[in-house]
Amino acid sequence: MTSQTIANTPTPDQIRRAPKVLLHDHLDGGLRPGTVVDLARETGYTNLPATDPDKLALWFHQAADSGSLERYLETFSHTVGVMQTRDALVRVAAECAENLAEDGVVYAEVRYAPEQHLEGGLTLEEVVEAVGEGFRQGERRARENGRRIRVGALLTAMRHAARALEIAELANRYRDRGVVGFDIAGAEAGYPPTRHLDAFEYLKRENNHFTIHAGEAFGLPSIWQALQWCGADRLGHGVRIIDDIHVRDDGTVELGRLAAYVRDKRIPLELCPSSNLQTGAAASYAEHPIGLLRRLHFRTTVNTDNRLMSHTSMSREFEHLVEAFGYTLDDMQWFSVNAMKSAFIPFDERLAMINDVVKPGYAELKSEWLFRQTPSTSGSVTPEG
C-alpha cells in the first residue's frame, strides 16, 4: 500500500468535509426530533408516541427497522402531522438546508408532496411558497456559518392518489422559483407509474424534468414502465436493476437488455443504501448492489432517502460504503460528480458546480497528506553545509 493509497482513504472528518451532492431526500423524512416535539406542542398534534426528543428519535429508528410496513408508514404520519402550517413548513425546510450544509452537502434536491400538507387550510401554492422560503432561509443561515449549499425542490405526487397532473402543473408554475422537477412516490405494487401518464406527457411537452420512484420494491417492470412508458429522467432508487444482471461463477457479468439500456443511456440511479437495507433490497452494506453497479460504471449516486427514519446522513452513508467496499476519496468524488451531472438545474450551472466546487473540494482533501506534521528532529540532526 502506497502513501497515496493511505492518503486517499477518507477519515470520518474528511467524509464530512467533502463536498457531497444529494438527489433523493424526503423533507418529511428528515425532521429533527426536537422540532417534531416543538411543532406538535405548537400545533396541538397529540398523537406522538413520545414527547422526549431522544426517546422519539429512538422510536422512529426502531419503527423504521421493525420490518413492519405499517409501523414504517406510521412514522410519516407523525412528521406530516406536524407539518400542516406555514410556520412549520418554513422551519422544517430551513432546518433541512442547515443540517445538510453542516454535513458537507453543497447541492441538494429535496422532495415533498404538497398534497399532504393541506389539512390546516393551506393551498398547494402556499405550501410550495412556505417550503421555498424555508430553503432560502436555511441557505442564508448556512452561509452565515461559513458553509454553502444550494437546495432545489422536487414536487411529489402520491401514486395512489389522483392529483399527479395537478402537482405537475404546480411544479411547472414554480420552476423558476426554486422548484427544479417532479416526482411520484408511494407504494409501487398495484400503483404503476403508467396511471399518471397524463402528468408525464404534460411535463415532457413543457420541457420539464422528472424522476420516478421505481425499482425499489416492485422490481424490473416498475423500472421498465418508468423509462419506456413514462420517460423518466432519473430512477428514484432503481436498485432492483440488479435483477437484470447475471454474474457468472467465473466473475464475468452479463447484462440483460433493460440493464444494458439503463447503463448505455446513462440513466441516473438514486441509490439509498441504508433505506434499501430497511426495505429488504439488500441484506448488508457489503452485499448492496451499489458495489457491482459502481464497478460496471452505471450512473450511480448515493442518497439518504429519509434521514430521520434511517438514522443517517450523507456522511454516514459514505462511511458505510468506505467500510464495506474500501472506497477512497476518488470514489466519493466519482459519486458526487455523477450526482451533479444528473441534477435538474441548467447544464452550465451543473458544470460550474463540478469544476468550481466539487472537484476543488476533493483535490484539497486529497492533498492533505502532504502537509501532515512530521516528528520533531530538534537537537538530533546536524545541519549540512
Name the pairing type of β-strands 179-185 and 150-158: parallel
Q: Residue 303 phi/psi, 5° resolution?
A: -145, 170
Spot the catalytic one: 95, 188, 216, 317: 216
Name the pairing type of β-strands 105-112 and 211-214: unpaired
Place of cell 451531472: 341
In the annotation, is 126 catalytic? no
Paired with 108 in beta bridges are 22, 151
Place of cell 437488455: 257
Could you tell me the three cell numbers for 348? 452550465
What is the Rg, in whole angstroms, of the alpha carbon atoms belonging to the chain? 22
Which residues belong to the active site?
216
